[in-house]
Structure 1
Amino acid sequence: MKKTIVATTIAASIILGGCSDAQTGSQATVTADPSVASTTVQTAEQAYLALADNYFKDSLKLEPIYATFVGVNDYNDQFGSALTETYLKQRHELNTRYLKQVKAIDRDALSPALQLSYDMFSYDRNVALVSETFPEHFMPMNQFYSTVISMVQLGSGESAQPFNTVQDYTNWLSRLAGFVEWTKLAQTRMDEGIASKVVLPRVLVERIIPQLQAQLVSQPQQSLFYAPITQLPASFTAQEKAQLTQQYTQFIDEQLLPALSQLTDYFQHTYLPMARGSDGWWALPNGKVWYQHLANSHTTTTMSVDEIHQVGLSEVARILSEMDKVRQQVGFEGDLNAFFASLSSEPQYFFNDRQGLIDGYMALKDKINLELPNYFNVMPKADYIVKPVEHFREQSAAGASYDAPAVDGSRPGVFYINTFNLKAQPKWGMTTLSLHEAAPGHHFQIAIKQELSDIPQFQRFGGYTAFEEGWALYAEYLGIEMGMFNDPYQYFGKLSDEMLRAMRLVVDTGLHAKGWSREQAIEYMKDNSPMAESDIIAEVERYMAIPGQALSYKVGQLKILALRAEAEQALGDKFDLKAFHDQILTSGSLPMAVMEQKIHHWVAASKA
């Protein structure tokens, strides 16, 4: 997703170069901000591009860590003021102001590409303003998305935070000081959550505590936050190294470790006793309405929770039938549940050591890469590497995830594999997982999006889970056509992963809208898949922590497949699969309705 997680300027010369207003069909309009008096006259396209550019710059000021991730290093010394009243007010004003400004621009006067961008921009501001009405800031962290873990990763030297100069090192120390303040404010917000009965389920709090305890060491040099000092560049002078070492050691010892200790103590002794016994969002104040909003915002649809639940039940039944066909094909004697048990337990289906699993994925990468040119005109310039999930977070991390490459090309994408429990990583599930997380799944969609040069910045770096996860699940389907599933066991792995996404529709809605318990959700998944129980537990607890997110995979995939089928039928022999993939991947991440609009426009143009 992982997340998350896991989001501006079009060069005017590209779109407007050499074109007069009459040639582009643009109407004259005022500056991007109608409230600012100015005699400058702009076309609608110029006004929209300026607005999108200004919004992106303003959002980076408000979210300095986000700026670092998108390659803007102006705020690398800042943590940001998230959770403060000032921040909440500024975020509201940002969304309100830019929604008003974009409404003042004539959409009909924009090019088709900018009309799509305009629709995305308006959609984002509207959803953000609705999201503000729910008290998400009362639950500022969970076991799946943790600011503490994110900061450890940033400080590892292998993420977006640069550690090349002395200034880089002092920037990070300053950002850590902001993080220390955040740990205190987070406790204040959770206190407000306790008073408002907006708290995490008890089991999720129990998962957070060990993550925090892992950061509590007796010596600063043992802290994961000390990692930058172990990687001091050789170009630094002896004096610079000594000074930075002393500064980091003192800060970790006197400020950071005490702050983390206090946060851990708060979770253990204050928050845990007040955590709720219920597992779903329905139990929170206005929880069902809140969950419907989360379901719609994650899927970028207006589907009701009940409709999503029914789609899930239908898909689970269909995939179970396909799985049974595989059981018969391989000649397994026994029913489907016995087949599940065999695939989940027999030694030949698993690696004996962690490195063997990583090496297996590296070999798959080479195999898949050979086929990709037959299905894509546009492919990412950035490469990706395969790495195991870090030890400190492997017990609660997902089975696999993807991190985007550096925007400037200095760091490849990362396909993370969780090697903690090898019984949760069957050999028969490797092909589909690689297609989903790496190429042509998340790596293609996210890396290509970052590399686009002719769309506003918010499109390059923003995202919608339904699009991104829907594409990754579509990439698994594409693996059939690529010949990746000729082995029936690997095809079963594809069905197993698709089953996971179908079960999510049932379980996520069950937990948060229908009163299901954690145990009920776990049993449902055990009954309908061969997943390892440890994996199922991690999945269910993930849905408890980030409601609605898991709905987006299957909803997005079904929409992309429907649009492809529609285009194939409409264009017949004119249908070009590579061109269809170009259309999906070359505008950034799109809400479902905007993606549908784009494909319809492409089909009409292709017919003509």
Structure 2
Amino acid sequence: MFAATAHAATPTASPDEAFKGIYTKEWSWRNGQAGILTSGEAQPGDGRLDTVDAASQARRLAYWNDVLAQLDRIDPRSLSGTVRVDYAVYHEQIFNLAAAQRFAQWQMPFNSDSAFWSDVGYVLHGDDLRTREDYRHYIERVRQIPAYMDQEIANMRLGLARGFTVPRDVLDGRDVSIAAVAELKNPEDSALYKPFKTLPKSLPAKDAEALRADARSAIAQGVIPAYGKLLTFFRTEYVPKARPTLAAESLPDGKAYYRQQIREYTTLDLSPDEIHAIGLREVAKIHEAMLETMKDTGFKGDFPAFLQFLRTDPQFYAKTPDELLMRTAWVAKQVDGKLGKYFGLLPRQRFAIEPVPADIAPYYTSGRGGADVYLVNTYDLPSRPLFNMPALTLHESMPGHALQLGLSAEQDGLPPFRRDGYISAYGEGWALYSEYLGEEMGIYHTPYEHFGYLTYQMWRACRLVVDTGIHHLGWTRQQAIDYLTQNTALSQREIANEVDRYISWPGQALSYELGYLKIRELRERAEAQLGEKFDLRAFHDTVLALGSVPLPVLEQHVDAWIASKK
């Protein structure tokens, strides 16, 4: 039924042409879908919110299974060099999209970190409006929200019926961001109304007022009641019936589901037990470095006392949100002055530093970065130590996510599924490597900032232990909290939020450390084999040149680069 829409190849097409025909048609089809999510990121969908119901999900599974069958009829060895890389990336991308449908992941459309109801504004692209038609189309998309919410509620009911839900233990307080919309008295206070507060001056006053009136009506009569309905469902139905277990392996077909999550987020064929062992090894190694750095500070007590000192002494905390933002900006500016020494190619894109929105800040991570914005959480300042800001900033802005994503977006010649895709093991591995690079760049000026860097390294190593502990070994939430409390200088709020994220988002936490270890391994291999011929700038440019790729593809690419330099 769906093969006709997906087939692209003809019997006489070359393997390269056949492959291009497959992904061109599929990408065009994918752009015409709304509500596709994978790896925690929204796929293209032209800002629509209209099709996430069970029937459309079944159609997607059939479509992607058909695309996989077509791909498997192509021998990758018959493809030309760069196209072979495209094939490896694309095959894994389609495999993961199909797997998410096979496990019906759409029946659990949120986690403790991110949720469909909070992502609506991002998906609708309200910042991109220019013309009167743009604003009208935006209002039409806002009017789709009630139907979209109804579909998501129906999907979550299907998840409840088979025990495929977010664990009950991490749901406390997650309704706050729904209530923030449901309880609005004035539609102009909605974030969805923001584009109408500064309409283009070229619009006639009559048209501008008509657009504003339509937007107010769409929000007051549609959006606010829809969020009210979602809030009632969440509080009276979802939370009481959510599963009491934590482990991904306790879900229906849970062992296979967790192994698929590992494959998607790490791009490696590793068992939970292997990953747990790697984590324990790295935790022990980093702990020794932390003890040495503690001595450098002159602190006289033991390690737990030092962590308590770091969590409670006022000297380590900003007094105002602006102070935290300014200290962050100062780190970013120092990094700016060093980039040319470490990278041959830098993106044109610049990034802003902004506070995390107030409605999601209480349970949001400390910071999150992209090509254009670095969000810093200024909520609960006693939970945001200044000595962590250099490592956080290196990770989330330059030379971490802002650099990697900016370069990827500017790559010429990459197919759109690569330019717009994101593979967590690569992207998060690079960002964690960027924290390591801060040592060489001289960004950590004091023993406390160096300890902040080490506590961030420890945090990611602990994730390997905690994620597999929860989802494979049956750890409790408190066990995970205690493990992070004993091994890192993260605040209690950060630790609780992070543990809830790992519980409700299986496998994602594994991508950081495993990606970082692979990039470190490849650099050490290049240094050992090239000796004096090793050029750090060229190595970094080589790692970043492919955009986001699975780790085995990156390894093959770096090995070829090493061979070419010998």
1:188 paired to 2:157: no
Once the 2 structures are TM-superposed, how far is the Cα of residue 132 of structure 1 from its aligned partner? 2.5
For the residues of structure 2 that align with 1:132 and 1:51, how far apart are their CA atoms?
A: 20
1:261 paired to 2:209: no
- 5 Å-filtered alignment, 1:165-564, equals 165-216=131-182, 217-404=184-371, 413-564=372-523
For the residues of structure 1 that align with 2:446 and 2:403, how far apart are their CA atoms?
A: 25
Once the 2 structures are TM-superposed, how far is the Cα of residue 486 of structure 1 from its aligned partner? 4.3
For the residues of structure 2 that align with 1:571 and 1:389, how far apart are their CA atoms?
A: 44
Once the 2 structures are TM-superposed, how far is the Cα of residue 33 of structure 1 from its aligned partner? 7.5
Residue 115 of structure 2: aligned partner:
146
SS of match in other structure, 1:526:
helix
Q: Is the contact between residue 111 and residue 504 of structure 2 (CA under 8 Å) also seen in structure 1?
A: yes
For the residues of structure 1 that align with 2:124 and 2:8, how far apart are their CA atoms?
A: 42
Once the 2 structures are TM-superposed, how far is the Cα of residue 425 of structure 1 from its aligned partner? 1.7
For the residues of structure 2 that align with 1:488 and 1:248, how far apart are their CA atoms?
A: 53
Change (3 A) 1:358 1:174: same
For the residues of structure 1 that align with 2:215 and 2:469, how far apart are their CA atoms?
A: 47
Question: What letter corresponds to residue 229 of structure 2 in structure 1?
Answer: Q
For the residues of structure 2 that align with 1:71 and 1:140, how far apart are their CA atoms?
A: 14
For the residues of structure 1 that align with 2:8 and 2:533, how far apart are their CA atoms?
A: 49
SS of match in other structure, 2:363:
coil
SS of match in other structure, 1:401:
strand
Once the 2 structures are TM-superposed, how far is the Cα of residue 585 of structure 1 from its aligned partner? 0.7
Once the 2 structures are TM-superposed, how far is the Cα of residue 43 of structure 1 from its aligned partner? 4.0
Q: Once the two structures are superposed, what CA deviation does each residue of 1:219-256 show, in whole Å capped at 9, x if it has no partner?
A: 22232222222122222111111211221121112111
Larger mean CA deviation between 332-341 and 147-156 belongs to 147-156
Q: Is the contact between residue 281 and residue 288 of structure 1 (CA under 8 Å) also seen in structure 2?
A: yes
Q: Once the two structures are superposed, what CA deviation does each residue of 1:496-529 show, in whole Å capped at 9, x if it has no partner?
A: 1011101111111111111111111111111111
Once the 2 structures are TM-superposed, how far is the Cα of residue 422 of structure 1 from its aligned partner? 1.3
Q: Once the two structures are superposed, what CA deviation does each residue of 1:189-244 show, in whole Å capped at 9, x if it has no partner?
A: 22222221222222333232111111121222232222222122222111111211
SS of match in other structure, 2:337:
helix
Change (3 A) 1:314 1:147: same
Q: Once the two structures are superposed, what CA deviation does each residue of 1:582-603 show, in whole Å capped at 9, x if it has no partner?
A: 1111111011111111111111
Greater relative contact order (Cα 8 A, min sep 6): structure 1 or 2?
1
Aligned length: 559
Provide structure 1 residue ranges, at least 5 long, that are not aligned to the other structure: 1-31, 405-412
SS of match in other structure, 1:214:
helix
- 5 Å-filtered alignment, 1:110-129, equals 110-129=79-98
For the residues of structure 2 that align with 1:425 and 1:205, how far apart are their CA atoms?
A: 23
Q: Is the contact between residue 139 and residue 199 of structure 1 (CA under 8 Å) also seen in structure 2?
A: yes
Q: Percent identity?
A: 32
Provide structure 2 residue ranges, at least 5 long, that are not aligned to the other structure: none
For the residues of structure 2 that align with 1:361 and 1:488, how far apart are their CA atoms?
A: 18
For the residues of structure 1 that align with 2:268 and 2:484, how far apart are their CA atoms?
A: 25
For the residues of structure 2 that align with 1:354 and 1:154, how far apart are their CA atoms?
A: 28
For the residues of structure 1 that align with 2:10 and 2:488, how far apart are their CA atoms?
A: 63
Question: What letter corresponds to residue 117 of structure 2 in structure 1?
Answer: V
Residue 23 of structure 1: aligned partner:
none
Once the 2 structures are TM-superposed, how far is the Cα of residue 79 of structure 1 from its aligned partner? 2.0
Residue 606 of structure 1: aligned partner:
565
For the residues of structure 2 that align with 1:189 and 1:262, how far apart are their CA atoms?
A: 15
Change (3 A) 1:125 1:156: closer
Residue 556 of structure 2: aligned partner:
597
| TM-score computed with the length of structure 1 as normaliser | 0.88
Question: What letter corresponds to residue 53 of structure 2 in structure 1?
Answer: L
Residue 15 of structure 2: aligned partner:
44
Change (3 A) 1:468 1:35: closer
Residue 79 of structure 1: aligned partner:
49
SS of match in other structure, 1:231:
coil
Q: Is the contact between residue 481 and residue 499 of structure 2 (CA under 8 Å) also seen in structure 1?
A: yes
Once the 2 structures are TM-superposed, how far is the Cα of residue 154 of structure 1 from its aligned partner? 5.0
Q: Once the two structures are superposed, what CA deviation does each residue of 1:65-107 show, in whole Å capped at 9, x if it has no partner?
A: 88xx9998x934x32412331x223322332233233334453
1:134 paired to 2:111: no
Change (3 A) 1:34 1:360: closer
Change (3 A) 1:213 1:391: same
Q: Is the contact between residue 64 and residue 75 of structure 1 (CA under 8 Å) also seen in structure 2?
A: no
| TM-score computed with the length of structure 2 as normaliser | 0.94
Q: Is the contact between residue 387 and residue 416 of structure 1 (CA under 8 Å) also seen in structure 2?
A: yes
Once the 2 structures are TM-superposed, how far is the Cα of residue 575 of structure 1 from its aligned partner? 1.5
Once the 2 structures are TM-superposed, how far is the Cα of residue 359 of structure 1 from its aligned partner? 0.9
For the residues of structure 2 that align with 1:144 and 1:121, how far apart are their CA atoms?
A: 27
Q: Is the contact between residue 396 and residue 431 of structure 2 (CA under 8 Å) also seen in structure 1?
A: yes
For the residues of structure 2 that align with 1:537 and 1:127, how far apart are their CA atoms?
A: 29
Change (3 A) 1:330 1:568: same
Q: Is the contact between residue 8 and residue 21 of structure 2 (CA under 8 Å) also seen in structure 1?
A: no
Once the 2 structures are TM-superposed, how far is the Cα of residue 257 of structure 1 from its aligned partner? 1.1
Change (3 A) 1:506 1:64: closer
Question: What letter corresponds to residue 55 of structure 1 in structure 2?
Answer: E
Once the 2 structures are TM-superposed, how far is the Cα of residue 281 of structure 1 from its aligned partner? 1.8
SS of match in other structure, 2:362:
coil
Correspondent of 1:107 among 59, 68, 76: 76
For the residues of structure 1 that align with 2:99 and 2:212, how far apart are their CA atoms?
A: 46
Q: Is the contact between residue 351 and residue 422 of structure 1 (CA under 8 Å) also seen in structure 2?
A: yes
Task: State the superposition RMSD in angstroms.
Answer: 2.2
Q: Is the contact between residue 62 and residue 91 of structure 1 (CA under 8 Å) also seen in structure 2?
A: no
Q: Is the contact between residue 35 and residue 52 of structure 2 (CA under 8 Å) also seen in structure 1?
A: no
For the residues of structure 2 that align with 1:385 and 1:225, how far apart are their CA atoms?
A: 21
Q: Once the two structures are superposed, what CA deviation does each residue of 1:137-195 show, in whole Å capped at 9, x if it has no partner?
A: 2212233221111113456844xxx2211111121222223222121111112222222
Question: What letter corresponds to residue 184 of structure 1 in structure 2?
Answer: D
Correspondent of 1:575 among 534, 543, 546: 534
SS of match in other structure, 1:391:
coil
